[in-house]
Amino acid sequence: MALEDLKHVQKALPDGGKVVVLDTGAIIGPESEAMLQALHSRSLGGIDSHLQKLAKSGSERFMSIFYVGYGHKSIGDCGSVTIFVEGVSMLVAKAIQQYPLYNGQEASTRYIDYEHQVFIDPVGTKTSKAILEDWRSFYLEGIATMKDELKRRHPRLDDEEEKIYEKAINARAFDIMRGFLPAGSSTNLAWHTELRHAADHLMTLRHHPLAEVRTVAETIEAALIEKYPNSFSDKRYEKTEAYNDRWMKHDYYFDEKIARDFMLERDNIDHSILRAHKTAFAKRPPMTDMPKFFASAGTMRFGFLLDFGSFRDIQRHRAVVQRMPLITTQHGFEPWYLEQLPDTLRQKAEKTIRKQLSSVRALKLTREVQQYYLPMGLRVRCQLTGDLPALTYLIERRARLDVHPTLRIVALKMGKVLDKRFGRDGLKLYMEETGDRFNYARGKQDIVERKSV
């Protein structure tokens, strides 16, 4: 089969983006692969007899010719699909990724040219567009200024390759200026998921508080029904739909008050389990995961303020439970972004923020829709719950010098709490606790095409 013969399902989104369900060209597709496993669980005749049935019926009809008396969900665990979603806001990306079993990738702000990137504007007025374009203008000015400023602050050393040094400078400039991008900035993401999990997640996403998310969810669902009609349907259960609609509208976004910028809200870890397995707990070497059975010791919950830009990074940790924060103005703009700017640019940034936030308030939007026009440097209220293996992994991965400084600070604070409470039980955390600095190695964090040999 030639590449041009593949039958990708593509559906357009209203704002110019699109949804693509990938056809990999496999002769045995996801539905047939799932059905083969289901039949294998009900017969000792062997896979060869099932393959013969597949050959006779054809892959497109294979699943439909069998009655599944115990439901489709376990079968859906055995087949997977890759969905590409393009030209949607950061808010849509976060909604799709707000799922413990999400696998996939999202475009990084470091690699997007925001001079021409579309900003999603649900209001669609001259005033709302002006707000988004003003953020763009300041971002582009800041990028140009910060590249020169960072080179002045951190001259290239003799042993540093110029190409990597330039990439590292650019990465640092992008990390500083991302705080001034609106959450309505468009992005692309890929979602690789089992058929069952796609259906389960879409069941709630179609009731999301944001119309854009609902539209994307419905478009993905339509594409999946077209591609895999035996695994997806438009059938609805009234009580389930009403329940999901209510909790998504009232409980999805999280914005509870916090007494301090960072606090341990709950600790119910059973120390006796740690002491009973002290060797496994205390002798863990670097770059090694903690045994999963330590999760049975209990969980801890942290509350903290973090800029939305860095929430996008910490949200990648699916082993912990995190609420989706609502972007508002009430927790202020993260000072770190301003502190990195030279004096003249900082003064302009502070003036721009005041003017822009005033303009956003004047739009008189719901708090949910207002998020499109707010900068990702605003701090949001975060709540994170996890067991020791999950927290240890998160802390050690995020308390490193190649991590964005605002997130690294939070990871280090969590690490200090764990060290104080479990150090006597033998816990050792591997963190880079030295101060924030320019990191040359970040210039190597890229995906590039190899030159032909």
Predicted confidence (pLDDT) per residue in 370-383, tens digit: 999 999 999 999 99
| Residue 60's pLDDT band (cuts 50, 70, 90) | low
Whether the predicted pLDDT of 86 surpasses 80: yes
Separation of alpha carbons 287 and 392, rounded Å: 11
For the chain, what percent of residues have pLDDT higher than 70?
Answer: 87
Whether the predicted pLDDT of 51 surpasses 90: no
Closest CA to 213 of 85, 38, 383: 85
Whether the predicted pLDDT of 206 surpasses 60: yes
- Interval 131-143: pLDDT, tens: 999 999 999 999 9
Look-up of token digits 């190409």:
163
Strand partners, 397: none
| Per-residue model confidence (pLDDT) at position 5 | 75
Separation of alpha carbons 68 and 97, rounded Å: 30
| Residue 48's pLDDT band (cuts 50, 70, 90) | confident
| Per-residue model confidence (pLDDT) at position 230 | 76
Q: 292-296: which pairs have CB atoms within 8 A and are 24 or more residues apart? A: 292/389, 294/387, 294/388, 294/389, 295/387, 295/388, 295/389, 295/390
Q: Is CATH 3.30.1360 the right assignment for the domain spanning 3-106+186-251?
A: yes
Helices (H), 113-264: 126-153, 162-177, 195-205, 211-227, 238-251
| Per-residue model confidence (pLDDT) at position 25 | 72
What number of other Cβ atoms are within 10 A of residue 156's Cβ?
15
Separation of alpha carbons 180 and 134, rounded Å: 10
| Per-residue model confidence (pLDDT) at position 231 | 79
pTM value surpassing 0.85: yes
SS3 per-residue string spanning 109-139: HHHCCCCCCCECCCCCCHHHHHHHHHHHHHH
Whether the predicted pLDDT of 164 surpasses 60: yes
| Per-residue model confidence (pLDDT) at position 443 | 52
Determine whether 70 is exposed, middle or buried from the number of CB atoms within 10 Å of its CB (0-12, 13-18, 19+).
exposed
Residue type, 10: Q
* Cα 439-110-120 angle, rounded to 5 deg: 150
Q: Check residues 394 and 75 and name the one with the higher pLDDT.
A: 394
Separation of alpha carbons 286 and 261, rounded Å: 30
Whether the predicted pLDDT of 212 surpasses 60: yes
* Cα 348-354-355 angle, rounded to 5 deg: 85
| Per-residue model confidence (pLDDT) at position 448 | 37
Our CA dihedral for 340, 343, 348, 351, rounded to 10 degrees, sits at: 90
Average pLDDT on 388-413 reads 96
Average pLDDT on 389-400 reads 97
Structure tokens at 321: 């439970």
**Backbone φ, ψ for residue 87 (5° rounding):** 70, 35
Look-up of token digits 């003064």:
347
Strand (E) or helix (H) holding 33: helix 30-40
Mean pLDDT, the chain, rounded, equals: 88
HSE-CB for 216 with a 13 A CA cutoff = 32
Closest CA to 99 of 20, 21, 192, 215: 192
Structure tokens at 247: 């909790």
| Residue 76's pLDDT band (cuts 50, 70, 90) | low
Q: Check residues 215 and 113 and name the one with the higher pLDDT.
A: 215
| Per-residue model confidence (pLDDT) at position 435 | 61
Q: Of the given ranges (44-48, 160-164, 296-300, 329-333), which has the lowest mean pLDDT?
A: 44-48
**Backbone φ, ψ for residue 213 (5° rounding):** -65, -45
Give me the residue spans of the domains in the chain: 3-106+186-251
| Residue 433's pLDDT band (cuts 50, 70, 90) | confident
Separation of alpha carbons 242 and 203, rounded Å: 11
* Full DSSP string of 363-395: T---HHHHGGGSBTTBEEEEEEEEEHHHHHHHH
